[in-house]
Amino acid sequence: MGSESLKNQVAIVGVADTEVGVVPQYSATQLYVKAAKLALADAGIKKDEVDGLITCISFVEPYMYHAEMIAEYLQIFPRYCMTAPSGGGTTLAIMHHAASAIATGMCNTVLITMADSQLSGLSRAKAIEAMSGAGHPQFERPYGPPIPAFYALLARAHEHAYGTTAAQRAAVAVACRKHASMNPAAQMRKPLTVADVLNSRMIADPLHLLDCSLVSDGGAAIVMTSAERARDFETKPVYLLGTGEGHSHEHISEARSLTTSAAKEAGERAYAMAGLGPRDIDVAELYDCFTPVVIIELEDLGFCSKGEGGRFVEGGRIELGGELPINTHGGLLSHCHPGHPGSMFSVTEAVRQLRGECGPRQVADAKIALVHAQGGIMSTHCTAIFGSEPV
Protein backbone atom coordinates (compact mmCIF):
# COMPACT_ATOMS: atom_id res chain seq x y z
CA MET A 1 0.00 0.00 0.00
CA GLY A 2 1.32 3.41 -0.92
CA SER A 3 1.53 6.62 1.03
CA GLU A 4 -2.05 7.53 0.09
CA SER A 5 -3.49 4.27 1.37
CA LEU A 6 -5.62 5.65 4.20
CA LYS A 7 -6.48 9.06 2.74
CA ASN A 8 -10.22 9.80 2.94
CA GLN A 9 -11.01 6.20 3.86
CA VAL A 10 -11.83 6.59 7.53
CA ALA A 11 -13.85 9.10 9.55
CA ILE A 12 -14.40 9.98 13.17
CA VAL A 13 -18.13 9.93 13.91
CA GLY A 14 -18.18 10.34 17.68
CA VAL A 15 -16.05 12.16 20.25
CA ALA A 16 -16.30 12.82 23.98
CA ASP A 17 -14.30 13.96 26.97
CA THR A 18 -15.20 13.24 30.57
CA GLU A 19 -14.85 15.94 33.19
CA VAL A 20 -11.11 16.62 33.47
CA GLY A 21 -8.80 18.09 36.06
CA VAL A 22 -9.63 17.09 39.62
CA VAL A 23 -12.14 14.26 39.27
CA PRO A 24 -11.88 12.17 42.46
CA GLN A 25 -15.45 10.87 42.17
CA TYR A 26 -14.51 8.43 39.38
CA SER A 27 -11.90 5.67 39.34
CA ALA A 28 -9.57 5.37 36.37
CA THR A 29 -11.56 2.47 34.97
CA GLN A 30 -14.80 4.39 35.37
CA LEU A 31 -13.29 7.30 33.41
CA TYR A 32 -12.53 4.96 30.48
CA VAL A 33 -16.06 3.66 30.54
CA LYS A 34 -17.63 7.07 30.97
CA ALA A 35 -15.67 8.48 28.00
CA ALA A 36 -16.73 5.44 25.96
CA LYS A 37 -20.41 5.82 26.79
CA LEU A 38 -20.36 9.54 25.96
CA ALA A 39 -18.57 8.98 22.63
CA LEU A 40 -21.03 6.24 21.63
CA ALA A 41 -23.90 8.59 22.51
CA ASP A 42 -22.29 11.34 20.42
CA ALA A 43 -22.02 8.90 17.49
CA GLY A 44 -25.59 7.77 18.07
CA ILE A 45 -24.77 4.05 18.17
CA LYS A 46 -25.21 1.22 20.67
CA LYS A 47 -22.26 -0.47 22.30
CA ASP A 48 -23.02 -3.72 20.48
CA GLU A 49 -22.18 -2.02 17.17
CA VAL A 50 -18.55 -1.67 18.27
CA ASP A 51 -16.45 -4.44 16.75
CA GLY A 52 -13.04 -2.92 17.45
CA LEU A 53 -11.83 -1.60 20.81
CA ILE A 54 -8.60 0.20 21.67
CA THR A 55 -7.54 1.54 25.06
CA CYS A 56 -4.30 2.86 26.48
CA ILE A 57 -2.81 1.29 29.58
CA SER A 58 -3.69 2.82 32.93
CA PHE A 59 -0.87 3.67 35.31
CA VAL A 60 -3.29 3.88 38.24
CA GLU A 61 -5.42 0.77 37.59
CA PRO A 62 -3.33 -1.47 35.35
CA TYR A 63 -4.48 -4.76 33.86
CA MET A 64 -2.36 -7.22 31.89
CA TYR A 65 -4.93 -7.12 29.08
CA HIS A 66 -6.36 -3.66 29.50
CA ALA A 67 -8.52 -3.37 26.39
CA GLU A 68 -9.97 -6.82 27.07
CA MET A 69 -10.72 -5.67 30.61
CA ILE A 70 -12.65 -2.66 29.34
CA ALA A 71 -14.49 -4.85 26.79
CA GLU A 72 -15.40 -7.22 29.60
CA TYR A 73 -16.56 -4.35 31.81
CA LEU A 74 -18.70 -3.00 28.95
CA GLN A 75 -19.82 -6.52 27.99
CA ILE A 76 -18.85 -6.04 24.36
CA PHE A 77 -17.13 -8.75 22.31
CA PRO A 78 -14.93 -7.13 19.65
CA ARG A 79 -13.10 -8.91 16.86
CA TYR A 80 -10.24 -6.41 17.09
CA CYS A 81 -8.94 -5.51 20.57
CA MET A 82 -5.71 -3.67 21.29
CA THR A 83 -4.03 -1.86 24.18
CA ALA A 84 -1.68 1.02 23.46
CA PRO A 85 1.28 0.26 25.74
CA SER A 86 2.33 3.84 26.46
CA GLY A 87 1.33 7.43 25.95
CA GLY A 88 1.98 10.47 23.80
CA GLY A 89 2.88 9.53 20.24
CA THR A 90 1.84 5.95 20.85
CA THR A 91 -1.73 6.78 21.81
CA LEU A 92 -2.08 8.79 18.61
CA ALA A 93 -0.28 6.18 16.49
CA ILE A 94 -2.76 3.55 17.65
CA MET A 95 -5.39 5.55 15.75
CA HIS A 96 -3.24 4.97 12.65
CA HIS A 97 -3.57 1.25 13.40
CA ALA A 98 -7.33 1.56 13.94
CA ALA A 99 -7.68 3.31 10.58
CA SER A 100 -5.67 0.52 8.95
CA ALA A 101 -7.89 -2.09 10.60
CA ILE A 102 -11.00 -0.40 9.19
CA ALA A 103 -9.50 0.13 5.73
CA THR A 104 -8.41 -3.51 5.47
CA GLY A 105 -11.73 -4.87 6.72
CA MET A 106 -10.51 -6.24 10.04
CA CYS A 107 -13.43 -4.42 11.62
CA ASN A 108 -16.02 -1.75 10.90
CA THR A 109 -16.43 0.43 13.96
CA VAL A 110 -13.59 1.12 16.38
CA LEU A 111 -14.06 2.67 19.79
CA ILE A 112 -10.86 4.19 21.19
CA THR A 113 -11.14 5.12 24.85
CA MET A 114 -8.32 6.46 26.97
CA ALA A 115 -8.28 7.73 30.55
CA ASP A 116 -6.44 7.76 33.85
CA SER A 117 -6.65 9.32 37.28
CA GLN A 118 -3.05 10.45 37.77
CA LEU A 119 -4.07 13.26 40.08
CA SER A 120 -6.55 11.60 42.44
CA GLY A 121 -5.80 7.91 42.07
CA LEU A 122 -2.11 7.61 42.96
CA SER A 123 -0.72 6.54 46.31
CA ARG A 124 2.42 8.41 47.42
CA ALA A 125 4.58 5.44 46.42
CA LYS A 126 2.95 5.28 42.99
CA ALA A 127 3.41 9.03 42.54
CA ILE A 128 7.14 8.72 43.22
CA GLU A 129 7.29 5.77 40.82
CA ALA A 130 5.52 7.87 38.19
CA MET A 131 8.11 10.63 38.58
CA SER A 132 11.24 8.48 38.76
CA GLY A 133 10.34 5.57 36.53
CA ALA A 134 11.55 7.25 33.35
CA GLY A 135 14.97 6.73 31.87
CA HIS A 136 17.33 3.81 31.42
CA PRO A 137 17.49 1.87 34.69
CA GLN A 138 21.29 1.47 34.59
CA PHE A 139 22.55 4.38 32.51
CA GLU A 140 20.14 7.27 33.25
CA ARG A 141 18.18 6.78 36.48
CA PRO A 142 21.25 6.68 38.78
CA TYR A 143 21.80 10.33 37.81
CA GLY A 144 18.43 11.37 39.23
CA PRO A 145 16.68 13.00 36.28
CA PRO A 146 13.05 13.90 36.99
CA ILE A 147 10.94 13.99 33.82
CA PRO A 148 11.24 17.80 33.43
CA ALA A 149 15.04 17.40 33.42
CA PHE A 150 14.94 15.29 30.25
CA TYR A 151 13.07 18.09 28.48
CA ALA A 152 15.30 20.74 30.03
CA LEU A 153 18.21 19.08 28.21
CA LEU A 154 16.36 19.66 24.94
CA ALA A 155 15.44 23.24 25.84
CA ARG A 156 19.03 24.08 26.76
CA ALA A 157 20.38 22.58 23.53
CA HIS A 158 17.84 24.55 21.46
CA GLU A 159 18.74 27.73 23.33
CA HIS A 160 22.43 27.15 22.68
CA ALA A 161 21.99 26.35 18.98
CA TYR A 162 19.40 28.97 18.02
CA GLY A 163 19.19 31.60 20.75
CA THR A 164 15.71 30.55 21.84
CA THR A 165 14.69 32.40 25.00
CA ALA A 166 12.77 31.69 28.20
CA ALA A 167 10.24 34.36 27.20
CA GLN A 168 9.63 32.57 23.90
CA ARG A 169 8.97 29.28 25.69
CA ALA A 170 6.69 31.18 28.07
CA ALA A 171 4.68 32.46 25.09
CA VAL A 172 3.62 28.86 24.45
CA ALA A 173 2.26 28.51 27.99
CA VAL A 174 0.53 31.90 27.72
CA ALA A 175 -1.21 30.92 24.45
CA CYS A 176 -2.40 27.60 25.85
CA ARG A 177 -3.75 29.30 28.98
CA LYS A 178 -5.50 31.96 26.92
CA HIS A 179 -7.31 29.22 25.03
CA ALA A 180 -8.09 27.32 28.23
CA SER A 181 -9.62 30.49 29.66
CA MET A 182 -12.20 30.23 26.85
CA ASN A 183 -12.84 26.54 27.55
CA PRO A 184 -15.11 25.88 30.54
CA ALA A 185 -13.87 22.27 30.68
CA ALA A 186 -10.19 23.18 31.19
CA GLN A 187 -8.40 22.47 34.46
CA MET A 188 -6.49 25.79 34.63
CA ARG A 189 -8.32 28.84 33.31
CA LYS A 190 -6.80 31.92 34.93
CA PRO A 191 -4.92 33.84 32.22
CA LEU A 192 -1.13 33.99 32.45
CA THR A 193 1.49 36.48 31.37
CA VAL A 194 5.04 35.79 30.21
CA ALA A 195 6.22 37.31 33.50
CA ASP A 196 4.04 34.84 35.45
CA VAL A 197 5.80 31.96 33.73
CA LEU A 198 9.27 33.42 34.21
CA ASN A 199 8.57 34.15 37.87
CA SER A 200 7.27 30.66 38.59
CA ARG A 201 9.54 28.29 40.50
CA MET A 202 12.50 26.82 38.63
CA ILE A 203 12.06 23.04 38.35
CA ALA A 204 14.99 22.01 36.14
CA ASP A 205 16.89 24.90 34.54
CA PRO A 206 15.82 26.39 32.23
CA LEU A 207 12.26 25.09 32.75
CA HIS A 208 9.98 26.84 35.22
CA LEU A 209 6.93 25.29 36.84
CA LEU A 210 4.62 26.91 34.26
CA ASP A 211 6.68 25.47 31.39
CA CYS A 212 5.50 22.06 32.61
CA SER A 213 2.15 20.43 31.87
CA LEU A 214 -0.49 19.52 34.42
CA VAL A 215 -1.20 16.36 36.39
CA SER A 216 -4.86 15.47 35.92
CA ASP A 217 -7.70 13.00 35.96
CA GLY A 218 -9.82 12.51 32.87
CA GLY A 219 -10.72 10.49 29.83
CA ALA A 220 -11.51 10.95 26.16
CA ALA A 221 -12.90 8.64 23.50
CA ILE A 222 -13.59 8.58 19.78
CA VAL A 223 -15.58 6.36 17.43
CA MET A 224 -14.09 5.66 14.00
CA THR A 225 -15.61 3.95 11.00
CA SER A 226 -15.22 3.81 7.23
CA ALA A 227 -15.86 7.06 5.37
CA GLU A 228 -18.52 5.23 3.39
CA ARG A 229 -20.39 4.12 6.50
CA ALA A 230 -19.87 7.52 8.17
CA ARG A 231 -22.52 9.00 5.89
CA ASP A 232 -25.17 7.01 7.77
CA PHE A 233 -24.35 8.73 11.07
CA GLU A 234 -26.21 11.75 12.35
CA THR A 235 -23.02 13.51 13.44
CA LYS A 236 -20.96 15.41 10.91
CA PRO A 237 -18.06 13.08 10.02
CA VAL A 238 -14.49 14.30 10.27
CA TYR A 239 -12.18 12.58 7.80
CA LEU A 240 -8.68 11.26 8.35
CA LEU A 241 -6.70 12.79 5.48
CA GLY A 242 -3.23 11.67 6.38
CA THR A 243 -1.22 10.13 9.16
CA GLY A 244 2.38 9.14 9.70
CA GLU A 245 4.81 8.09 12.36
CA GLY A 246 8.48 8.53 13.17
CA HIS A 247 10.47 6.71 15.84
CA SER A 248 14.03 7.67 16.68
CA HIS A 249 15.05 6.33 20.09
CA GLU A 250 13.87 5.34 23.52
CA HIS A 251 16.44 7.07 25.73
CA ILE A 252 17.36 10.72 25.30
CA SER A 253 21.04 9.82 25.72
CA GLU A 254 20.65 7.86 22.45
CA ALA A 255 18.84 10.61 20.48
CA ARG A 256 20.18 11.36 17.00
CA SER A 257 19.73 15.05 17.74
CA LEU A 258 18.51 17.10 20.70
CA THR A 259 17.09 19.82 18.47
CA THR A 260 15.50 17.94 15.53
CA SER A 261 13.05 15.15 16.25
CA ALA A 262 11.28 12.35 14.42
CA ALA A 263 8.30 14.72 14.23
CA LYS A 264 9.94 15.62 10.93
CA GLU A 265 9.44 12.13 9.47
CA ALA A 266 5.99 11.75 11.02
CA GLY A 267 4.87 15.08 9.57
CA GLU A 268 6.34 14.43 6.14
CA ARG A 269 4.58 11.05 5.97
CA ALA A 270 1.24 12.54 7.05
CA TYR A 271 1.51 15.46 4.61
CA ALA A 272 2.43 13.06 1.80
CA MET A 273 -0.59 10.85 2.49
CA ALA A 274 -2.93 13.85 2.61
CA GLY A 275 -1.33 15.64 -0.34
CA LEU A 276 -1.20 18.73 1.86
CA GLY A 277 1.45 20.88 3.50
CA PRO A 278 1.87 23.10 6.54
CA ARG A 279 0.29 26.07 4.76
CA ASP A 280 -2.99 24.17 4.41
CA ILE A 281 -3.43 23.72 8.18
CA ASP A 282 -6.07 25.95 9.84
CA VAL A 283 -5.55 24.77 13.41
CA ALA A 284 -2.88 22.60 15.06
CA GLU A 285 -3.08 20.63 18.29
CA LEU A 286 0.55 19.99 19.25
CA TYR A 287 1.85 17.86 22.09
CA ASP A 288 2.85 20.28 24.83
CA CYS A 289 4.06 18.27 27.81
CA PHE A 290 6.69 21.01 28.16
CA THR A 291 6.89 24.33 26.32
CA PRO A 292 10.13 23.64 24.36
CA VAL A 293 8.48 20.60 22.75
CA VAL A 294 5.99 22.84 20.94
CA ILE A 295 8.79 25.00 19.55
CA ILE A 296 10.65 21.96 18.19
CA GLU A 297 7.43 20.48 16.76
CA LEU A 298 6.54 23.72 14.95
CA GLU A 299 9.93 23.58 13.25
CA ASP A 300 9.95 19.86 12.50
CA LEU A 301 6.39 19.96 11.13
CA GLY A 302 7.43 22.68 8.71
CA PHE A 303 5.46 25.63 10.11
CA CYS A 304 8.76 27.53 10.27
CA SER A 305 12.37 26.72 9.50
CA LYS A 306 14.73 25.04 11.97
CA GLY A 307 15.76 27.46 14.68
CA GLU A 308 12.89 29.88 14.01
CA GLY A 309 10.42 28.23 16.41
CA GLY A 310 11.16 30.65 19.24
CA ARG A 311 10.42 33.67 17.09
CA PHE A 312 7.40 31.92 15.54
CA VAL A 313 5.54 31.59 18.84
CA GLU A 314 5.87 35.31 19.66
CA GLY A 315 3.41 38.07 18.89
CA GLY A 316 0.25 35.99 19.19
CA ARG A 317 0.93 33.98 16.05
CA ILE A 318 -0.08 30.72 17.78
CA GLU A 319 -3.10 32.23 19.54
CA LEU A 320 -6.70 32.32 18.34
CA GLY A 321 -6.87 34.98 15.66
CA GLY A 322 -3.19 34.40 14.83
CA GLU A 323 -1.64 32.77 11.79
CA LEU A 324 -1.67 29.27 13.31
CA PRO A 325 -3.81 28.81 16.43
CA ILE A 326 -2.51 25.86 18.45
CA ASN A 327 -3.92 23.89 21.37
CA THR A 328 -7.29 25.59 21.22
CA HIS A 329 -8.61 23.56 24.19
CA GLY A 330 -5.64 24.60 26.34
CA GLY A 331 -3.39 21.60 25.71
CA LEU A 332 -1.59 19.51 28.27
CA LEU A 333 -0.29 22.76 29.74
CA SER A 334 -3.71 24.10 30.73
CA HIS A 335 -6.60 21.80 29.67
CA CYS A 336 -5.48 18.53 31.30
CA HIS A 337 -2.80 15.83 31.27
CA PRO A 338 -3.90 12.54 32.82
CA GLY A 339 -0.79 10.76 31.45
CA HIS A 340 -1.10 8.21 28.65
CA PRO A 341 -4.42 9.58 27.25
CA GLY A 342 -3.02 13.10 26.71
CA SER A 343 -3.09 13.19 22.92
CA MET A 344 -6.68 11.90 22.74
CA PHE A 345 -7.94 15.28 23.98
CA SER A 346 -6.16 16.88 21.03
CA VAL A 347 -8.09 14.59 18.70
CA THR A 348 -11.48 15.32 20.29
CA GLU A 349 -10.70 19.06 20.15
CA ALA A 350 -9.62 18.88 16.49
CA VAL A 351 -12.86 17.09 15.61
CA ARG A 352 -14.94 19.70 17.44
CA GLN A 353 -13.07 22.51 15.70
CA LEU A 354 -13.81 20.92 12.31
CA ARG A 355 -17.44 20.43 13.27
CA GLY A 356 -17.56 24.12 14.26
CA GLU A 357 -18.71 23.37 17.82
CA CYS A 358 -16.14 25.34 19.81
CA GLY A 359 -18.03 28.53 20.59
CA PRO A 360 -15.78 31.39 21.72
CA ARG A 361 -12.61 29.39 21.00
CA GLN A 362 -13.74 28.35 17.50
CA VAL A 363 -11.14 28.92 14.77
CA ALA A 364 -13.11 30.70 12.05
CA ASP A 365 -13.78 28.52 9.02
CA ALA A 366 -11.55 25.68 10.24
CA LYS A 367 -11.46 22.98 7.55
CA ILE A 368 -8.13 21.24 8.11
CA ALA A 369 -6.62 20.37 11.48
CA LEU A 370 -3.29 18.80 12.36
CA VAL A 371 -2.69 16.81 15.55
CA HIS A 372 0.82 15.85 16.59
CA ALA A 373 1.87 13.81 19.59
CA GLN A 374 5.20 12.56 20.90
CA GLY A 375 6.00 10.11 23.62
CA GLY A 376 8.98 9.02 25.64
CA ILE A 377 11.47 11.87 25.51
CA MET A 378 10.81 13.06 21.94
CA SER A 379 11.12 9.37 21.09
CA THR A 380 7.96 8.27 19.31
CA HIS A 381 6.00 10.61 17.07
CA CYS A 382 2.72 10.55 15.21
CA THR A 383 1.04 13.20 13.09
CA ALA A 384 -2.59 13.06 11.95
CA ILE A 385 -4.32 15.46 9.58
CA PHE A 386 -8.11 15.71 9.65
CA GLY A 387 -10.56 17.46 7.34
CA SER A 388 -14.17 18.53 7.54
CA GLU A 389 -14.47 17.11 4.01
CA PRO A 390 -12.45 14.53 2.05
CA VAL A 391 -9.67 16.07 -0.05
Partner 1 sequence: MAAETAKALPAPTLETRPYWEGCKRHELRIQRCGGCGRYQFYPRIYCAQCFDDRVEWVTASGRATVLSFTIVRRPVSPAFAADVPYVVALVTLDEGPTMMTNIVGCEPERVAIGMRVAVTFEDWNEEISIAKFRPA
Q: Give 215's contacts (C-beta < 8 A, 6+ positions apart).
A: 118, 119, 337
Binding mask 190-209 for partner 1 (x = CB under 8 A): -----------xxxxxxx--
How many angstroms separate the CA atoms of 225 and 202, rounded?
Answer: 46
Query: Which string of b and e fits 74-110 if b means at least 16 CB within 10 Å?
Result: bebebebbbbbebbbbbbbbbbbbbbbbbbeeebbbb
In terms of Cα–Cα distance, which of 229, 42, 254 is closest to 140? 254
Residues 236-255 binding partner 1 (CB under 8 A) are 251-254
Q: Does residue number 123 form part of the binding site for partner 1 (CB under 8 A)? A: no
Please say which residue, 205 or 389, places its beta carbon nearer to partner 1. Answer: 205
Under rule CB under 8 A, residue 135 binds partner 1: yes
Nearer to partner 1, 145 or 330 (CB): 145
CB of 134 or CB of 391, closer to partner 1: 134
Per CB under 8 A, the segment of 1-9, 132-140, 182-190, 344-352 that binds partner 1 is 132-140
Instruction: Answer for the pair 208, 355: CB distance below 8 angstroms, yes or no.
Output: no
For residue 201, the minimal CB distance to partner 1 (Å) is 7
- What are the Cα distances from residue 175, in Å, to 16, 62, 337? 24, 34, 17
Residue of 317, 322, 336, 129 whose CA lies nearest to 213: 336
Q: With contacts defined by CB under 8 A, how many residues of the chain interact with partner 1? A: 35
Q: In this chain, which of 131, 228, 231, 232 binds partner 1, going by CB under 8 A?
A: 131
- Binding status of residue 142 toward partner 1 by CB under 8 A: yes
148 binding partner 1? (CB under 8 A): yes
Q: Are 12 and 238 in contact (CB under 8 A)?
A: yes
Residue 69 touches partner 1, criterion: CB under 8 A: no
Q: How far apart are the first and last CA of the chain?
A: 19
Q: Which residues in this chain contact partner 1 in the complex, by CB under 8 A?
A: 128, 131-132, 135-146, 148-149, 152-154, 156-157, 160, 201-207, 251-254, 258
